[in-house]
């Protein structure tokens, strides 16, 4: 059973998801990231077509949190058949789901949105994607995110780099082991 306010995204959610993604992605970028690079990433990766494909895919999970009819957070997760961690990332248990996005609106950071989304992501990783763990990457300068992930059982297992426009970002890789389904 999903936590209160969390549900699987539907095709009707796609326009709101695109707006939510555009509003929240910059929050994950370290200070000093070129706004043009952020805008390029959003325009290329956080589009209606991309989110429609995510929502329609049986090997991806898109969860949304809704408060008062407004989407205020979302999770995008890929199954192991689509995104496999490189050995250098340090992921210890496979199959592993890749948590690509876990973002909430600034007004609800630290509130009751991200925790239920993470709990639902763990459930979906096991129940929908058949994963034994979830891995993710977050910028090394994003201490708030690192604290949140540690609070939810994730441990740093390695590192990787992520391209955002012309910039190459250093990220920590975190993993949480999941109970068997």
pLDDT given at position 28: 82
pLDDT given at position 27: 86
For the sheet containing 133-139, what is the strand order? Answer: 6-8, 60-67, 70-78, 96-104, 133-139, 167-177, 155-164
How far apart are alpha carbons 126 and 72 in whole angstroms? 24
**Domains, the chain, ordered by start:** 6-177 (3.40.630.30)
pLDDT given at position 167: 73
Mean pLDDT per 10-residue section of the chain, whose length is 181 residues: 89 97 89 90 95 97 94 96 93 96 82 91 97 95 92 96 80 94 55
Q: Show Cβ contacts of residue 177 under 8 Å, excluding neighbours closer than 6 positions.
A: 92, 93, 132, 133, 153
pLDDT given at position 109: 60
pLDDT given at position 120: 97
């Amino acid at each position: 059973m999903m936590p209160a306010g969390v549900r699987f995204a539907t095709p009707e959610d796609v326009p709101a998801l695109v707006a939510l993604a555009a509003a929240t992605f910059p929050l994950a970028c370290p200070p000093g990231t070129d706004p043009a690079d952020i805008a390029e990433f959003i325009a290329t990766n956080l589009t209606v077509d991309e989110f429609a494909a995510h929502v329609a895919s049986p090997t991806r999970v898109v969860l949304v949190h809704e408060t008062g009819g407004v989407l205020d957070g979302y999770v995008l997760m890929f199954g192991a058949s689509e995104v496999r961690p490189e050995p250098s990332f340090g992921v210890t248990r496979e199959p592993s789901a890749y948590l690509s996005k876990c973002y909430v609106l600034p007004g609800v950071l630290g509130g009751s949105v991200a925790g239920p989304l993470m709990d639902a992501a763990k459930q979906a990783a096991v129940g929908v994607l058949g994963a034994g763990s979830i891995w993710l990457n977050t910028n090394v300068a994003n201490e708030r995110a690192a604290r949140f992930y540690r609070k939810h059982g994730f441990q740093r297992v390695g590192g990787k780099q992520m391209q955002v426009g012309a910039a190459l970002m250093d990220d920590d890789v975190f993993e949480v082991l999941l109970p068997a389904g």
